[in-house]
Structure 1
Amino acid sequence: MGLYFNRKQLKNLRKTLRKRATGAEKILWQFLKRRQIEGCKFRRQHGIGRYVVDFYCPELSLVIEVDGASHDSEEAHMRDARRQQEIEQHDITVLRIRDEVVRYDIHSAIEKVRSEVLRLKGKPPSA
């Protein structure tokens, strides 16, 4: 079975998640929207298969997930690993950034995203 993007069944969930974005997701979105990072378009709360990811860049097949405290339990780690493995099977890169990094060191978070974008574009990061 192929991979489906933005399945109709998840439309209401995606809409709700956009309305209820975490503080860190809102902060990061301010830097991702309007092609601010290397001209790449990002979408927020994008459906990939049976999952909804925080941010997705279709040009690079790059997912960005902002992980907060709800991802700290052993059960959550296992669920995240399973989900990530399933997404990566479709040649999609998953970049995870801690909620605290986005909230307290946004420049480090943006540089992490920029480095991954440049790597996927096959360009070396500038010094």
Structure 2
Amino acid sequence: MKKQIHNLKILESRRKYLRSHLTPAEAFLWKHLQRSQLRGRKFRRQHSITYFIVDFYCPAEKLIIELDGQYHLNPDVAEYDSYRTEKLEELGFTVIRFENKMVFDFLPSVLKEIEDNFKLK
């Protein structure tokens, strides 16, 4: 039997909370990812994989997008981010990260980089 790793019940209330309290950068990027706007790809926000809740996830591409604010500049947080990325990549996911400022200042470049990580053309 295949072990469930997506959207574990134990994290449901946390995912719901995070979806209703998006950061400004998450809300801004979500406007461009929702409703399959980016090359027809469906994205989910605040999706959990094992015990990690990721900002955005594209199931068709096994692509995870993480947005990092000032909080992620803390060395301990950055170390944890690296650990998370490593664990998710071991499960076969691709993880890309953007600073919040990038989303606001260089949205076309951010969207292009996301598209560049699509394996299915």
Same fold flag (TM > 0.5): yes
Q: What's the secondary structure of 2:41's corresponding residue?
A: coil
Matched residue SS, 2:66? strand
Give yes or no for contact 1:3–1:90 (8 Å, CA) kept in 2. Answer: no
Percent of matched pairs sharing the same residue: 37
Please state how far the C-alpha of 1:3 moved relative to its aligned partner.
5.3
In structure 2, the residue corresponding to 1:32 is in which secondary structure?
helix
Unaligned runs of at least 5 residues, structure 2: none
- Please state whether the residue corresponding to 1:81 is helix, strand or coil: helix
TM-score normalised over the length of structure 2 = 0.94
Aligned to 1:77: 78
1:1-127 alignment runs, 5 A limit:
2=3, 4-117=5-118, 120-121=119-120, 123=121
Structure 1 alignment gaps of length 5 or more: none
Which 4+ stretches in 1 moved above 2 angstroms? none
Q: Which range moves more in the overlay, 106-115 or 74-83?
A: 106-115
Residues 7-43 of structure 1, C-alpha deviations (whole Å, 9 max, x = no match)? 0000000000011100000010011111111111000
Question: Matched residue pairs, number?
Answer: 120
RMSD of equivalent CA atoms: 1.3
- The answer to whether the 8 Å contact 1:7/1:47 transfers is yes
Deviations 1:47-77 (A, max 9, x none): 1000100000111100000111110011111
Q: TM-score normalised to the size of structure 1?
A: 0.90
